[in-house]
Structure 1
Amino acid sequence: MDWVISDELSLTVGTVVGWVSAGAMIIGGVIPYIPQYRQIRKTQDAEGFSLLVCLALLVANTLRIMFWFGRHFEYPLLIQSIIMNVTMFIMIHLCVRVRNRNQLMQARQRIFTDFDIKYFWNWNDFQSYIDCMLVFTIATSILMYVFIDKIIFVELMGFLAVFTEAMLGTPQLVKNFKSKSTEGMSVSMVIMWTCGDIFKTLYFLLREAPIQFWICGSVQVAVDVLILLQVYIYRGNTEPQRDRAHRGD
C-alpha cells in the first residue's frame, strides 16, 4: 500500500515539476527584456540596445513555428515562440518611438518599401518592421508548404531557427565592442539571458528535444558569457565612444 502511495506522490510531483518547467519555458524568454524595456522608457534613450537582437529573435522564432508544422515538438516551445515574437514587436515599437523623438533634425523617412539595403532594419516607422516580417513569414510558409515532405528541408529549417536564436546576442556583442562601452545596455537583461539560456539548454537535454535545440542552446550560453565579460572589461567606460568622439577626446 505504501509503495502505491509513493508512486502516486512521485507521479504528482513529476507532473507539477513538468508544468512549472513548461511555464518557465513559455514566459522565461520574455522576462529578460522587461528591465531593458523599463530602462529605455526611463532614460528615453534606445541607443544602447541593438534592434538586431529583435531581428534575430523574430527570424528565429518564425522559423521555429514553421519547423513545428514539419516536426511537431512540444507545445510550450511553440507557445514561447509566439509570445516572443509579440514581445519583440513591443520592444521595436518603443525603440522606434524613442529614436524618432530624440532626432534633433527631422531626417528623410526611411521605410521598408524603399528597399534600400543601407537602411535595412533601421527604418523610421514601426509599420516597416511589421511589413518586413510579414513578407518573411509568407515566404517561409510557402516554402514549408511545398517542401514539408522533404525531411532534409524540415531539419534544415529547425537548425536555422535555433542557430539564429543562438546568435541573438552577437549584435549586442559587436555593438559593445565597437563603442567600447556597455552603457545603455541592461546588465540585468544579459544576466537573465544567461540564466534562462542555461535552463533552456538543460530543458532541451532532459526533454530530448531535437539535437539542433540543445547544441545551439550551448552556443547561446557562450555568447551570453562573452557579453558579461564585456561588462567587466568596459566597466570604466560609462560614456559611449561616439559621444567622446564628438567632443574630440
Structure 2
Amino acid sequence: MTNPQVVLQEEESEGSWMLLSWLASCLMVFGGALPYVPQYQEIQRSSNTEGFSTRVCLVLLVANILRIFFWIGKQFELTLLLQSVVMIFTMFAMLHLCCTVQNSNPVSTKQHRLSDLDLRYFWKWNAFEDYLLFCCGFSVLCAMVSILLLGSAMFIEMLGSLAVMFEAMLGLPQLLQNLHNRSTKGMSVKMVLLWMAGDVFKTSYFVMNQSPSQFWVCGSVQILIDVAILLQVLFYSQDTRIKLG
C-alpha cells in the first residue's frame, strides 16, 4: 500500500523541480539580453558610442540567425530558439540607439551607407535601415542554402558549429576595441560582469541538459574572453592612475 505522505512529498519535489526548470528556461531566454541594459543606459547618459563596439551586435546577429537555421535542421531545446529571437531584437535595439546618437552628433561627418559598397566602412553605417537590410539579405541567403542542403547531416552540424563559433567570439570585438582605444572608458563594466555570469550559467545549463557539444564549447570560450576583458579593466585603470600620479 502506497504511503500518501510519500506520494505527496514526491509530487511536491516534482513540482519544485518543474518550477526551477521553468525559471532556468526563462533566464536562458531573457538572461542573454540583460547585460546590454547597463550599456544601453550608459550610451543614453553619455551620448557617446565610442566605448561600445557595434561589431558585438554583428557577431551576435550572425550567430543567432545561423542558430535559428540550425534549430530548423536539428530541433534542440525550444528555449535556445526563443533566446536567439530575443537576442536579435536586443541587438537591433542597440544598433538603433547607436545610430540615433551618432546622427545627433553636431560634428559634421560623411554619411556612410550600405549602398556605397565600401568595405572600409562595413558595419559603420549611419542609417539603422542599412543594418536591417543586411540582416534580411543574410537571412535570405541562409534560407536558400538551407533549402538546398537541409537533408545533409554534415551541413546541419557545420551550421551549428558556425553559429556557436561566431557566438564564442562575442566579446572579441569589445576586447579589440579596448586595445585600440587603450581604455575601457565608455564600456559598461556591469555589461561584462553580466556577460560572465550569463556565460557561466548557460555553459552549466548546456552540460546539464546534454545540449549539442557545440554549445558548451562556445560557452567555455566566451568565459575566457570575458576574463580577458575584465583584466583589461584592471590594467587600464591602473595605467590611468600611474599617469595621473
Give the TM-score range, shorter chain: over 0.9
Name the structure 2 match of 1:190.
192
Matched, 1:167 2:169: yes
Matched, 1:55 2:58: yes
Supply the distance in 1 between the matched residues of 2:240 and 2:16 (Cα, whole angstroms). 48
Name the structure 2 match of 1:80.
83
Could you tell me which amino acid in structure 2 is paired with residue 19 of structure 1? W
Name the structure 2 match of 1:119.
121
Supply the distance in 2 between the matched residues of 1:207 and 1:234 (Cα, whole angstroms). 39
Mapped contact 1:48–1:183 kept (Cα < 8 A): yes
Matched, 1:26 2:25: no
Supply the distance in 1 between the matched residues of 2:6 and 2:166 (Cα, whole angstroms). 47
Q: Deviations over 1:78-122 (max 9, x none)?
A: 0110010001001001011111222512x3321111111111000
Could you tell me which amino acid in structure 2 is paired with residue 59 of structure 1? V
Q: SS of the residue aligned with 2:50?
A: coil
Displacement after TM superposition at 1:6 (Å): 2.2
Matched, 1:155 2:157: yes
Supply the distance in 2 between the matched residues of 1:27 and 1:125 (Cα, whole angstroms). 27
Supply the distance in 1 between the matched residues of 2:113 and 2:76 (Cα, whole angstroms). 36
Query: Where does the alignment leave 5 or more consecutive residues of structure 1 unmatched?
Result: 240-249
Q: Deviations over 1:144-169 (max 9, x none)?
A: 11111100110010111111011010
Supply the distance in 2 between the matched residues of 1:121 and 1:129 (Cα, whole angstroms). 8
Listed as ranges, the matches of 1:167-246 within 5 Å are: 167-236=169-238
Supply the distance in 2 between the matched residues of 1:218 and 1:169 (Cα, whole angstroms). 12
Displacement after TM superposition at 1:236 (Å): 4.0
Displacement after TM superposition at 1:76 (Å): 1.0
Name the structure 2 match of 1:96.
99
Q: Deviations over 1:176-199 (max 9, x none)?
A: 112110000000000000000000
Supply the distance in 1 between the matched residues of 2:221 and 2:151 (Cα, whole angstroms). 29
Name the structure 1 match of 2:144.
142
Supply the distance in 2 between the matched residues of 1:103 and 1:161 (Cα, whole angstroms). 39
Supply the distance in 2 between the matched residues of 1:91 and 1:238 (Cα, whole angstroms). 29
Supply the distance in 2 between the matched residues of 1:45 and 1:38 (Cα, whole angstroms). 11
TM-score (structure 1 length as normaliser)? 0.93
Mapped contact 1:64–1:158 kept (Cα < 8 A): yes
Could you tell me which amino acid in structure 2 is paired with residue 196 of structure 1? G
> What percentage of aligned pairs have identical amino acids?
45
Supply the distance in 2 between the matched residues of 1:179 and 1:126 (Cα, whole angstroms). 25
Supply the distance in 2 between the matched residues of 1:110 and 1:104 (Cα, whole angstroms). 15
TM-score (structure 2 length as normaliser)? 0.94
Displacement after TM superposition at 1:63 (Å): 0.4
Could you tell me which amino acid in structure 2 is paired with residue 7 of structure 1? E
Supply the distance in 2 between the matched residues of 1:208 and 1:125 (Cα, whole angstroms). 41
Tell me the number of residue pairs that the alignment of Structure 1 and Structure 2 aligns: 238
Supply the distance in 1 between the matched residues of 2:38 and 2:192 (Cα, whole angstroms). 10
Q: CA RMSD in A?
A: 1.3
Displacement after TM superposition at 1:202 (Å): 0.3
